Amino acid sequence: MALGGAQPSFLTKMAKSFVSYGVPGTYHYSEAVLAEGFEAAIELTGDKSLAAWYKNQIDDKVVLEDGSIYDWNLTYYSLDDYRIANNFLWWYRRTGEEKYRIAAHTIREQINRHPRTPTGGFWHRQPNYPNQMWLDGIFMVDSFYATWTKYFDNDNTTAWDDILLQYDNIEKHTRNTTSNLLVHGYDESKVAVWADPETGAAPLVWSHFISLIEVIQLWPEAHVGYDKLVTYFTTLADGLLRAQDKTGGWWLIMNEGYPERQGNYIESSASAMFTYGLLKGMSLGLIDKATYLEPAKKAYGLLTERFVSINQNGTINWEGTVAVGSLSSNGTFEYYIGVPIVRNDYKGTGPFMLASYEYETWAAHA
């Protein structure tokens, strides 16, 4: 589906399509990411019917009237489950209903109890991944941790310092200073099968671009961490620009020398996340339009042309997303390319909707 002429609202079309497909309604992180796409569509259009449908999803299936979270386990510590708290706070700010704040507070308290590495980083999950920090985990927990702190505990310097520590750990252990990209994670104990025996780092590139852009918007500018986080973001933006394929997208495995390897492919969720990050980074003034606007436009064009498909009834699909990428594996190239590619994966659809919000907002004022 190519760009050209009058621009269709891919954001609106995707939101309405997924309403028609049906969404289960759980606190799983993939649904939390898709829900952020719905939030973007509501913000852009003011669509009351979409807002009502989305609220019903949360009220009937996730947050109970007393603020408890359906089927929540207070003794299970997995960063993957914490992302949904962002959506709870979105509804709290929109409605003022206390149950959403209570539900978010449950997860905030769980963060206080979450197991940590010797240097203070959050384990990705207990007991599965002891002393391991993954970039996925930064995305799952720290955006919410920062949002909660901003709205309810803004003067708590200790909390801001703790959030910064998570990014500092990731920066220290996963940055490739040649490419400016980041590997998928690290094992502080250096015993995982994929861990470098000297650094503990995983071998292949991943990213937490969206997490950085989310947290920077919340960060107190007077705090020393603000400039550090901006530098982490702009350095990663440079690496992503250099890693962008001539088609406008990004490869599943971006390490130098890997794009040419048989089995590698342009992956849609990463391409959508990076497109969103570049567009949002420009709108916030963190990166310059002279350098990044044309690459971002090319990237968004690829998303709509290659990864959006149309059904006979006019609904649209999101294609080309890898089902999962996990360091529960051996971390090899063969593992990553062997994971199935799926249609309408929420982890890809949500970022595309966020990218569409930024692109459509920019295009309306260009």
Q: What is the DSSP string of 243-276?
A: H--TTS--BSS-STT-TTSTT--B-HHHHHHHHH
- In one-letter notation, the amino acid at residue 8 is P
Tokens of 7: 């621009």
Per-residue pLDDT tens for 143-187?
Answer: 999 999 999 999 999 999 999 999 999 999 999 999 999 999 999
pTM: 0.96
pLDDT at position 366: 81
Residues in a beta bridge with 251: 266
Whether 4 is covered by a domain: the verdict is no
Q: CA 266, CA 271: separation in Å to the nearest integer?
A: 8
Share of the chain above pLDDT 70, in %: 98
3-class state of residue 125 by DSSP = strand
DSSP string, 59-104: HHHTB-TTSPBTT--TT--BGGGGTTHHHHHHHHHHH--HHHHHHH
Tokens of 285: 């003034």
Per-residue pLDDT tens for 47-99?
Answer: 999 999 999 999 989 999 999 999 999 999 999 999 999 999 999 999 999 99
Per-residue pLDDT tens for 258-275?
Answer: 998 999 999 999 999 999
- Domain with residue 150: its CATH number is 1.50.10.10
The domain tally of the chain equals 1
pLDDT band (50, 70, 90) for residue 36: very high
DSSP string, 16-54: HHHHHH-----S-HHHHHHHHHHHHHHHHH--HHHHHHH
pLDDT band (50, 70, 90) for residue 7: low
pLDDT at position 88: 98
Whether 96 is covered by a domain: the verdict is yes
Chain center to CA of 135: 10
Whether 3 is covered by a domain: the verdict is no
Q: Is the peptide bond before 118 cis (omega within 30 degrees of 0)?
A: no
User: Which residues form the domain of 226?
Assistant: 10-158+166-365
pLDDT at position 8: 65
Per-residue pLDDT tens for 204-256?
Answer: 997 679 999 999 999 998 999 999 999 999 999 999 999 999 999 999 999 99
pLDDT at position 260: 87
Q: For residue 24, which of 344, 361, 249, 358 has the smallest C-alpha distance?
A: 344
pLDDT at position 266: 97
pLDDT at position 2: 41
Tokens of 101: 């704040």
Tokens of 111: 């963060």
- Give the chain's mean pLDDT: 95
Q: How many residues does this entry show for the chain?
A: 366
